[in-house]
A and B are shown apart, each in its own frame.
Chain A
């Protein structure tokens, strides 16, 4: 069952969206919010799979709300609805899985939801590809095995930098995934990126940093973004179109 939350300030539009969504099998609307702040707290509480966001919501606009939602769980599919015909905000492009420009045909919602169901299945497909970990760039030369000290509440965990497969955000915290488990820290992705500074750890999205040696598959995803499957972990990442181009130029033949 796909859980959906609607963020829309016009009650009549909420009614329309709810009716349409409930007409699609396998979808359940678990909440409705009339403003951005309410939407974020609903998402935090109920952890939906999909969020419908109107771009100009009161209190906190749709793009700001999307940014927060990505910080809570970047795996949530965000669908923007807007009546601005030329809305090309950068953030808007980073977070949107899809965007609907009003007036749009309701059929469009159905198509998008079907695509989400399909992609979610693809993403959650079990079966981990195994691949030996390779040392990170620059390490061999000095024959060092760099450690990253990860501080969380009361303890300090030691992670070998070359073990890192993907770093992402979850519940407003940063999670480092390795083959032997994941570690949570309050440091931001940006701080970690600057601290580690390694060629093979690639910042592919606002909410993701990946070990390029562990990439197994890149699948077309939402609006100008791709899903990245990684070896040794179940966790997947998202790469934006721009970053994919950078990745190809930097690492590929």
Chain B
């Protein structure tokens, strides 16, 4: 039981609550006016007065105060309670950290005991002033260095409210654990310190167990949240890859549109100036150059379809005859779609580059996705000049390239990925075709977790 006198209420509880709220709010990037802070201070001081006079052990007040504190901030600042809770937690955890350092120091230096401090206003003021000074310094530092927790919080606040809703609970969970642990330590210190003869919650085993259990529960919730976020991240990464494919497709389509506009202009122009023979020849040449197949490619995996479609458009704009045969379902592909797209994308890009310098009627690239008894077989063939044997031997080495400096990581990473899934990649090259064959076992026991 701790009944606060009016001076204590006015000169300690009030400034204490004001300082803590300024720390929490400015760490979140809120600018606060003196009026708002004073209001928070007054309300919180009043609440503290009642909470402190409740017949509960030291330490438990702090938790109740935290709750009233965040409610008051939410009410005065008109911000979501999640955010105000976070502000209260931030302020309080810094305040507690300061107290952890200053309390033992002051007790030892002055020889005061907690019980006398609690009962004497002047002693209490002596106890509070150094703390307040440190808190003021921290506030000045936060404002001077423009510290924010987390960085760019407010920018995101305007742009995306769900960011707060997602991250605030997780941060709160962590801070709450932090605060509980600190309270336990503070209580242990007070119990074991001969100078302070006061009962804290740890002398009540039930309360201690309750605290411990609470920390474990909070911990489990934090882990769950983190795992959820990680899963989300992985999903988003895959989607990002997919979007990149789409972006490339859009770029290719723009290029095609550009060419198309030009060709339309020429044909119209030729007709307008009555150069009919030239117009006819122009159209004929144009039609011959268009790749024979431009039908829609379909697989049963959206991301792979996007990749192949993008490459097909690219082939069309580069006047490459690109054929894709999908003879198997890719739904149960035993590897990450991103990895598969890196493998296939690299092989197709290389094939495109290999045929680029040939006359347009000889630019042929074929892709075959099939399955045999051993597992999946992916074949990328290009018609082109044969690769020399010594080049084939080095083709998968990192940094090896026939295209000059700074290249040559493509096939190396392809090989790495194929090996990751216990697969195999081979190159064959003769006068007609250069063939890359990737074989992947159907089920990958080694990388599967039971």
Instruction: List residues of A whose CB falls within 8 A of some B CB.
Output: 10, 12-13, 15-17, 19-20, 23, 83-85, 102-104, 106
Contacts and interface: CB of A to CB of B under 8 A. Distances in A.
Contacts of B258: 83-84
Contact of A106 (B262, B272, B278): B272
A106 B266 CA distance: 11
Given A12-B270, A16-B269, A102 B275 contact: no
Given A12-B266, A13-B265, 12 more contacts: A12-B278, A12-B282, A13-B266, A15-B270, A16-B269, A17-B269, A19-B275, A83-B261, A84-B258, A103-B264, A106-B268, A106-B272
Most interface-central of B261, B262, B273 (chain A CB within 10 A): B262
B266 A16 contact: yes
Contacts of B259: 83
A106 B269 contact: yes
A87 B270 CA distance: 25
Contacts of A104: 265
Contacts of A23: 273
Given A16-B273, A20-B273, A10 B261 contact: no
Contacts of A20: 269, 272-273
Contact of B264 (A17, A102, A106): A102
A16 B272 contact: yes
A104 B275 CA distance: 18
Most interface-central of B265, B268, B273 (chain A CB within 10 A): B265
A21 to B, nearest CB: 10
12 contacts: A10-B262, A12-B278, A15-B278, A16-B273, A19-B275, A20-B273, A83-B258, A85-B261, A102-B264, A103-B264, A106-B268, A106-B272
Contacts of B269: 12-13, 16-17, 20, 106
Contacts of B264: 102-103
A108 B258 CA distance: 20
Nearest to A13: B266
Most interface-central of A10, A103, A104, A106 (chain B CB within 10 A): A103
Nearest to A86: B254
Nearest to B275: A15
- Size category of the B interface is 10 to 19
Interface of B is mostly: helix
Nearest to A16: B269
A16 B261 contact: no
Interface in B311-348: none
B273 A83 contact: no
In the complex, the 8 A-B pairs of residues with the closest C-beta atoms, listed nearest first:
A16-B269, A19-B273, A83-B261, A103-B265, A102-B265, A83-B258, A83-B262, A102-B261
Contacts of A12: 266, 269-270, 278, 282
Nearest to B272: A106
Nearest to A100: B265
Contacts of B261: 83, 85, 102-103
Contact of A83 (B265, B268, B270): B265
A249 B357 CA distance: 56
Contacts of B273: 15-16, 19-20, 23, 106
B275 A16 contact: yes
Given A13-B262, A19-B273, A83-B258, A103 B278 contact: no
Most interface-central of B257, B273, B275, B278 (chain A CB within 10 A): B273
Contacts of A17: 269
B16 to A, nearest CB: 57
Nearest to A22: B273
Nearest to A81: B265
Interface in B121-135: none
Contacts of A19: 273, 275
A112 B351 CA distance: 46
A10 B270 CA distance: 12
A166 B274 CA distance: 47
Nearest to A103: B265
A102 B262 contact: yes
A104 B264 CA distance: 10
Most interface-central of B259, B269, B270, B275 (chain A CB within 10 A): B269
A16 B278 CA distance: 10
A242 B273 CA distance: 39
A17 B278 CA distance: 14
Contacts of A102: 261-262, 264-265
A80 to B, nearest CB: 13
